[in-house]
Amino acid sequence: MPSTLSAQELGLAVLQFVEHGAYPETEGIASAELPAAALPTLLNSLGEARENVKVYENRLHTELTVAPDVDGWIAQAKQLQADIARSTAIAQEIVRQADVGKNLQVHVDDASSKADLLENELAFNETLSTTLAQVQDIYALLEGAQNAAMGRTLQAIEKLEAADVAMAQLGDFKNTRAVGLLHNHASELKTAIIEDANECWNALIYVDPSARHITIKDELPREPPISINTVIDALTRLDALKPAILRFYKVFNDTVLNPYLLMSRDLTVGKISIAGDDVEVSGVTTDVSIPTLLTGLSDVLEYLGTRLPPAISIPLSEILMPSINSRLLTGWLEPAIPLSLEGMQSFEQVLGHVLNLADNVEELGWSGKSELVSWVERTPRTWLAKRREAALAATRRQILNGVSERRVVERVETQTVQRGEVVVTGDQGNEDWNAAWDNGGGPANSSTKRPQQLEDDQEASAWGLDDEAQVAGQNSNKPDEAGDAGDDAWGWDDADEGKQSTAASPTTNRNQRPNANGDRNHTDALKRELTLKETYTVTAVPDGIVEIIQQVILDAEALGRSSLSQSPVAPATNGLYTLPTLVLAMYRATASTYYSKCEAGNMLVYNDSGRLSDQLRDFLQQQARKDQSSNSSPDAKPSSRLKLDADMKSLDAFGKRAYTKEMEAQRTILQDLLDGALGFSNCTIHPFAAECENAVAMTVDRIREVQRQWKDILSQSNLLQALGSLLLTATSKIMVDIEDMSDISEEESKQLKHFCEEMNKLSDLFMQAGPEGQPRDMTGVYCPNWFKFQYLAEILDSLLADIKYLWTEGELKLEFEAEELIDLIEALFAESEYRRRAIGDIRRSSIVR
């Protein structure tokens, strides 16, 4: 329980805390209660303590503040106040004196300005007086120049120049009105002097355009006399000489050069006559030879160079010679370059006159010689460029005019073959001759191929795209009847036996093979020589192009001879051998455009390209034989310098591309026509039946139309090959569409056979006369899937037993795969035990085979 203390004790504890911040030392005092009754006592104690502190402070202040120190401080403060008052008075006096100095400075500045103004006025008056004296002197110079202009032109110009110098030294007075009047007077005087000088110029160099007459004098007969040099000096100092020379060039060009260098429509030029100071174009002359022209032109230039001072002639030549050279080279010299070698001797004389003209120009000290000499040095290149342009232009004309002219040509080739051997016609490198036989292996070659594969193989073989191993294999598999058919197609003459080979039936001898393993001696004994002949149509283009090339080579050969080895165009010999390549390139580049206007133009391109290639090979062979007897070095012989192998290959490829393009176009047409049959589905239902009928009929008509277009263009073998390829496309499309049908009713089967029979009518296009004059059907030779197509027509209208018999006992297995035939049987016949047994027998027999 807290203790109770007296009011005095509590007040003492609080006072100690307030004064010293001390807490009570005893627990009793710290925990004692502070009753409300003790508060008045506490307040009284605190008040007494505060009063005691104040009394202590006052006493302490009194002790510290000593009286003598306060008096000293007061005295010092009074002295300070006196010093401040004295400083204030001094500052006010300084300000007053400063104001008086400013007033004096203003008076001084004003007096200085007035003095400077008076000095400037005096200087201006002196300058004005001097300037007026200069103006008076300038005016005197101008007056003197004006007086001297009447006959003393150079003195007038000197005074005028002195006046211009004086006016340039007038300084600030140059822009005054008086000086401006002097400038105007000087300008008018200068104009008058220039006009007078030009009058003298026109009098010394007199031109009469209407009479085409020019007179050049050295001096004017006046007082005092004026020479042409004086006029030149005057015009030079007046900066009027170049305009005067330019004017003379224009009138000289119109008066003399144009009539002389421009030939009129009546093939005449102006006739120049020079006599003393005069040159005149009087009348016309029909002598337009270049030597005469260059001689007259040299006389004219010599006239100008000798009659005119160098100050005129040399600047005039810088304008005149480029114009003369340009018109001379383009209008006379370049057209005079002969395209043939016949006029080369006279052209050498022309070059000599050109060099003489260049020497005369150099003697005159004029420019322009280098251009003439350079042209002479470029003569071989220029001549070659003209020959190139002429050859290309002739090629274009030949193609344009020659495509409308048709010619029937014959191809003849002799081969040595074994008796009884399958004849591979023509050169193995020339697809034109073996195309008909590379794909003519007949049904035996197509027994394991789908129709599209047959068509692709035919195209590859037609262009010789098979590798050597494949070609060898195909040749070994060709039947005898292909060779017999080739005898008829090519019209071979048997040189040894004098008769044609005996034909064999395609259906009975398809599997026969030639004997390739006979004894060598026996083989040699059985060899025979066969001559292959065939005609086809070409245009006049190949012959014309060959003539162009032959003429180029003849000229090149002539330039290599000693008689023309020193000809100015002899260095162009090497370039001539490049022209045939350009001519052939021109043919390949433009042929498609010109031939497109002709019916079957691509086939004409094919024939012409082959014809042109053959003629070039013959020409090269003839040239090689001709060079063997020549005494020229090997490098100078045309056969060694002509490089046409690549061009001939390009020609062959170009012709093949045209042929392929035409074939692809026709195949596309046939496929589009057959697409109208919609795969022959619903071929018995209206209106689909009519569409199928129309598609087949249009296809047949299209092939016949193509045969009509091509029969007078292609050779017989190429025509049959091309038609066979188109027929292959059509029959392959029909067979694929039929084989893709999953169900074929009896009525549809009859209709499909009818369509096949319509296509079979095209076999009349492939009929050929046999050895005894009897017609033979060669469709199977040129259309590899023809027998398969015929078998398909039979299958569509045959009993299952007949189909099975043809497979097991006949030759159906040579044309169809087992699965192909099974698919057809499943589409044609309903499910039955007999069909299952037949399909099983077919599968087993295919495995045994």
pLDDT at 687 over 80: yes
Q: Can you tell me the distance from the alpha carbon of 503 to that of 485, in angstroms, rounded to the nearest whole number?
A: 7
Q: Can you tell me the distance from the alpha carbon of 606 to that of 724, in angstroms, rounded to the nearest whole number?
A: 18
- Flag whether the pTM goes above 0.75: no
Torsions phi, psi for 90 (to 5 deg): -65, -40
Three-state SS letters, 644-704: CHHHHHHHHHHHHHHHHHHHHHHHHHHHHHHHCCHHHCCCCCCCHHHHHHHHHHHHHHHHH
* Token couple for 316: 């005039």
DSSP-derived secondary structure for 423-476: P--S-TT-HHHHHHHHT---GGGSTT--HHHHHHHHHHHHTT-S-HHHHHHHHH
Model pLDDT for residues 7-17, shown as the tens digit of each residue = 677 777 777 77
What is the per-residue pLDDT for 728?
A: 95
41-45, 212-216, 418-422: least confident range: 418-422
Residue among 738, 824, 726, 715 at smallest CA distance from 779: 726
Helix (H, G, I), strand (E, B) or coil at 747: helix
* CA 424 vs CA 463, 466, 485: distances in Å: 14, 15, 12
What is the DSSP secondary structure assignment for residue 829, as one 8-state letter?
A: S
Residue among 579, 584, 504, 509 at smallest CA distance from 544: 584
What is the per-residue pLDDT for 190?
A: 64
Query: 472 with 430: CB under 8 angstroms?
Result: no
Q: At what angle do helices 800-808 and 833-848 cross, to 10 degrees?
A: 10
pLDDT at 133 over 60: no
Helix (H, G, I), strand (E, B) or coil at 514: coil
User: What's the average model confidence in pLDDT over 691-710?
Assistant: 94
pLDDT at 472 over 50: no
Q: Can you tell me the distance from the alpha carbon of 428 to that of 678, in angstroms, rounded to the nearest whole number?
A: 42
User: Which of residues 180 and 344 earns the better pLDDT score?
Assistant: 344
Residues 6+ positions from 37 with CB-CB distance below 8 Å: 7
Helix H or strand E segment including 415: strand 406-418
Model pLDDT for residues 807-849, shown as the tens digit of each residue = 888 888 888 898 989 999 999 999 999 989 989 988 888 775 5
pLDDT at 412 over 70: yes
pLDDT at 636 over 70: no
What is the per-residue pLDDT for 773?
A: 72
pLDDT at 681 over 50: yes
Amino acid identity of residue 561, one-letter, is R
Q: Can you tell me the distance from the alpha carbon of 280 to that of 278, in angstroms, rounded to the nearest whole number?
A: 6
Share of the chain above pLDDT 70, in %: 72
What is the per-residue pLDDT for 142?
A: 54
What is the per-residue pLDDT for 706?
A: 94
* Token couple for 484: 């017999």
pLDDT at 403 over 70: yes
188-192, 410-414, 699-703: least confident range: 188-192
Beta bridge partners of 205: 216
Q: Can you tell me the distance from the alpha carbon of 128 to that of 166, in angstroms, rounded to the nearest whole number?
A: 15
Q: Can you tell me the distance from the alpha carbon of 318 to that of 368, in angstroms, rounded to the nearest whole number?
A: 8
What is the per-residue pLDDT for 170?
A: 61
Q: Can you tell me the distance from the alpha carbon of 372 to that of 354, in angstroms, rounded to the nearest whole number?
A: 7
Three-state SS letters, 35-97: CHHHHHHHHHHHHHHHHHHHHHHHHHHHHHCCHHHHHHHHHHHHHHHHHHHHHHHHHHHHHHH
Instruction: Place 74 in a pLDDT band, splitting at 50, 70 and 90.
Output: confident
User: Which of residues 237 and 434 earns the better pLDDT score?
Assistant: 237
Please enumerate, as own/partner, the contacts of 137-143 that have beta carbons within 8 Å and a separation of 24 or more: 137/166, 138/163, 138/166, 138/167, 138/182, 139/182, 141/166, 142/182, 142/185, 142/186, 142/189
Q: What count of other Cβ atoms lies within 10 Å of the Cβ of residue 770?
A: 17
Beta bridge partners of 408: 537
User: What's the average model confidence in pLDDT over 453-461?
Assistant: 42
Residue among 440, 406, 414 at smallest CA distance from 533: 414
User: Which of residues 23 and 91 earns the better pLDDT score?
Assistant: 91
* Token couple for 134: 């200069």
How far out from the chain centre does Cα 30 lie?
117
* CA 762 vs CA 489, 724, 754, 757, 759: distances in Å: 18, 10, 14, 9, 6
Instruction: Place 394 in a pLDDT band, splitting at 50, 70 and 90.
Output: very high
Helix (H, G, I), strand (E, B) or coil at 110: helix
What is the per-residue pLDDT for 76?
A: 79
Q: Which burial class, exposed, middle or buried, applies to 801 when counting CB atoms under 10 A from its CB (0-12, 13-18, 19+)?
A: exposed
Amino acid identity of residue 219, one-letter, is E
Helix (H, G, I), strand (E, B) or coil at 12: helix
What is the per-residue pLDDT for 474?
A: 37
What is the per-residue pLDDT for 656?
A: 94
Beta bridge partners of 215: 206, 278
Share of the chain above pLDDT 90, in %: 26
Look over the chain and give the mean of its residue pLDDT values, rounded to a whole number: 76
Beta bridge partners of 531: 414, 493
pLDDT at 460 over 60: no
Helix (H, G, I), strand (E, B) or coil at 533: strand
Q: Can you tell me the distance from the alpha carbon of 420 to that of 417, in angstroms, rounded to the nearest whole number?
A: 9
* Token couple for 349: 């004389």
* Token couple for 707: 């045969």
- Where helices occur in 207-289 by DSSP H, the ranges are 228-237, 241-252, 258-261
User: Which of residues 683 and 373 earns the better pLDDT score?
Assistant: 373
Specify the pairing of strand 527-539 against strand 493-494: antiparallel
Residues 6+ positions from 59 with CB-CB distance below 8 Å: none
Q: What count of other Cβ atoms lies within 10 Å of the Cβ of residue 845?
A: 14
pLDDT at 448 over 70: no
Q: Can you tell me the distance from the alpha carbon of 287 to that of 202, in angstroms, rounded to the nearest whole number?
A: 33
DSSP-derived secondary structure for 274-330: EETTEEEEEEEES---HHHHHHHHHHHHHHHHHHS-HHHHHHHHHHHHHHHHHHHII
pLDDT at 139 over 60: no
Model pLDDT for residues 484-539, shown as the tens digit of each residue = 333 333 333 333 333 333 322 333 333 333 333 444 444 454 566 777 788 999 99
Asked if the peptide bond before residue 634 counts as cis, ω within 30 degrees of 0, the response is: no
Helix (H, G, I), strand (E, B) or coil at 517: coil
